[in-house]
């Protein structure tokens, strides 16, 4: 029985940086070769980054991707790596974009994979299943492939597939069984959401049973705008046994020796299996030598607890957004409350304290404990702490314009926003906003005030989860013998915007342990009023909450991007009209 040493290169590409991504492939292929690999694979659309969105429509971008692929094949050979077969995702096209006037049926942009060997492209595959739900719009961009590519490598027949092909039964994996392959490679740009890692392994096992073959699943890591990728690459044998699994949220080379069945001769009539053609290719017989000595064992990294997983996702999403967009540092308002404390701790974990500026912006309504909590967090984390009192500016404004009530409350928030943006303009920081998903859902924020900012790390985090994350982060610090970053008083005190005397969030909203389950059902679960009431929620509170959610769409549409961690994030996932008279209560 042949043995192939597989190297799954779980790396972090950048959208649009074709040259930089190609350099990543070269560097990690060298690592794979040094580990004795006989086959290396990289994530979906590795050369272009993923998702490329409307860059697909730029013919110059498609041409650059195709040219880079052939240049990469030659460069790998020049690096002395030509004997190692390398599977890499790239953007291809066999016709004009589907949105153009000269579009051709069945032709257009392709989400593609190419096998590079001996300085050339020896095989290609076009993604068959194109997802068009949630964050995915691939039907808008790509044309579906109609052939399964099977490549003979080291005496083993290996099928090539891409991401969504794994999520659908009866597609390429069923055809792979008909083709008699021993191994299916699946390259991915699979975005993170909480508990998705619990779904992947059973899914990969089902496809292994369907294909009757081992599966090597490689996923990218890193952040891309609102999306974050968690890696979680793995190898499963034909019986569904997990052989190796990579850690989440870090670049990683997973190297493992896999025993595979020898290739067989094709059977008659296989060229039209399951609605897909089978296209066979073979790499040169020149491969890296078979591994000798002890077998390579990739190891199995167990998934972490929910709070640890979410924290890592938020840290990676923020770090990559800041670094890939070349911001030198970030600035945020430190109120002493739980939301800004969590965002500050995330920012310090992501970037280091030297790149984080926290600004206390007290008014006459700011409590002494809130001011002290903000200063205490700064001491614990080591970030650059500043104090900019806003009351003189508010008083100057009120001396020239008569305002009262909510208008004065919003004025305070907007003065704070002006100060943060001024610091951003003056010093080059990216402003982080700190509103959680519960507040965004019900519109409990001030446009151009506390909502001001270029990125919101906790945009997709419910308020109740904010508290859980704060407690987890502090406990994690204690376990490691470090100072907990978040003051206990910030966690324990009732939340308040402190824009008027004695103000609490509960003056305007239900308690968060009542509010969040309703919001989760309505926003994430698409439950209507009847479904929420049937779930046990108070009808009057349901009606009140749904009215707030429905009338706040215009605010959410203007909110900063933020890391997606749930099944349905505002912006990329949940898309509703602003002008909309439908109400669940009729």
Q: How far out from the chain centre does Cα 471 lie?
A: 24
Sign of dihedral through CA atoms 18, 22, 27, 33? Answer: positive
3-state secondary structure at position 362: coil
Burial class (CB in 10 A: 0-12, 13-18, 19+), 575: exposed
- Tokens found for residue 166: 């794994």
CA distance 61 to 362: 49
Task: Give the residue among 393, 423, 419, 389 at the shortest CA–CA distance from 408.
Answer: 393
Measured CA to CA, the distance from residue 107 to residue 492 in angstroms comes to 59
Q: Rounded to an integer, what distance in angstroms lies between the CA atom of residue 88 and that of residue 169?
A: 24
| Nearest alpha carbon to residue 125 among 278, 274, 249 | 278
**Block residue for tokens 């709070």:** 307
- Which residues 6+ apart lie within 8 Å of 169 measured at CB? 206, 210
Q: Counting Cβ atoms within 10 Å, is residue 171 exposed (0-12), middle (13-18) or buried (19+)? A: buried
Catalytic residues: 44, 127, 163
CB 69 within 8 A of CB 117: no
Q: Are strands 147-153 and 242-245 parallel, antiparallel or unpaired?
A: unpaired
Summary count for the chain: helices (H), strands (E):
17, 19
Cα(218)–Cα(220) distance, integer angstroms = 7
């Amino acid at each position: 029985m042949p043995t192939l040493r597989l190297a799954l290169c779980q790396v972090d590409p950048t959208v649009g940086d074709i040259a930089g991504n190609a350099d990543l492939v070269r560097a990690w292929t060298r690592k794979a070769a040094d580990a004795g690999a006989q086959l290396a694979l990289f994530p979906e659309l590795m050369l272009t980054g993923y998702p490329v969105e409307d860059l697909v429509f730029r013919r110059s971008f498609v041409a650059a991707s195709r040219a880079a692929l052939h240049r990469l094949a030659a460069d790998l050979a020049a690096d002395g790596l030509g004997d190692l077969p390398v599977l890499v995702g790239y953007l291809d096209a066999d016709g004009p974009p589907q949105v153009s006037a000269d579009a051709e049926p069945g032709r257009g942009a392709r989400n593609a994979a190419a096998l590079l060997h001996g300085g050339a492209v020896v095989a290609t595959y076009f993604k068959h299943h194109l997802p068009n739900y949630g964050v995915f719009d691939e039907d808008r961009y790509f044309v579906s492939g109609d052939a399964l590519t099977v490549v003979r490598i080291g005496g083993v027949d290996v099928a090539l597939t891409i991401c969504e092909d794994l999520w659908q039964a009866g597609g390429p994996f069923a055809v792979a069984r008909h083709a008699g392959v021993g191994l299916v490679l699946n390259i991915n740009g699979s975005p993170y959401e909480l508990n998705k890692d619990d779904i992947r392994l059973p899914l990969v096992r089902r496809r292994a049973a369907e294909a009757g073959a081992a599966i090597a699943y490689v996923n990218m890591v890193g952040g891309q705008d609102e999306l974050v990728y968690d890696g979680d690459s793995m190898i499963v044998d034909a019986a569904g046994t997990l052989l190796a699994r990579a850690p989440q949220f870090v670049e990683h080379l997973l190297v493992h020796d896999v025993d595979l069945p020898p290739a067989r001769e094709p059977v008659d009539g296989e060229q039209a299996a399951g609605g897909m053609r089978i296209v066979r290719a073979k790499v040169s017989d020149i491969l890296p030598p078979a591994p000798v000595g002890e077998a390579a064992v990739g190891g199995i990294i167990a998934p972490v607890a929910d709070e640890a997983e979410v924290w890592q996702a938020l840290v990676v999403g923020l770090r990559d957004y800041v670094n890939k967009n070349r911001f030198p540092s970030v600035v945020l308002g430190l109120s002493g409350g739980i939301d800004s404390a969590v965002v500050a701790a995330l920012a310090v974990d992501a970037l280091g304290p030297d790149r984080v500026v926290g600004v206390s912006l007290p008014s006459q309504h700011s409590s002494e404990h809130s001011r002290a909590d903000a200063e205490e967090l700064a001491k614990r984390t080591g970030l650059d702490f500043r104090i900019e009192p806003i009351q003189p500016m508010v008083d100057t404004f009120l001396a020239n314009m008569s305002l009262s009530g909510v208008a004065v409350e919003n004025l305070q928030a907007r003065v704070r926003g002006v100060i943060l943006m001024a610091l951003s303009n003056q010093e080059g920081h990216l402003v982080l906003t700190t509103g959680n998903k519960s507040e965004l859902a019900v519109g409990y924020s001030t446009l151009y005030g506390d909502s001001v900012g270029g990125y919101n790390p906790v945009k997709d985090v419910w308020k109740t989860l904010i508290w859980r994350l704060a407690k987890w982060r502090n406990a994690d610090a204690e376990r490691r013998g470090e100072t907990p970053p978040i003051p206990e008083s910030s966690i324990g005190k009732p939340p308040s915007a402190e824009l008027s005397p004695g103000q609490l969030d509960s003056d305007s909203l239900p308690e968060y342990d009542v509010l969040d389950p309703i919001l989760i059902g309505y926003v994430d679960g698409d439950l209507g009023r009847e479904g929420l009431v049937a779930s046990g929620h108070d009808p009057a509170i349901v009606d009140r909450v749904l009215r707030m959610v429905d009338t706040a769409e215009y605010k959410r549409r203007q909110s900063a991007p933020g890391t997606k961690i749930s099944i349905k994030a505002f912006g990329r996932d949940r898309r509703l009209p602003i002008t909309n008279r439908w109400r669940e209560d009729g």
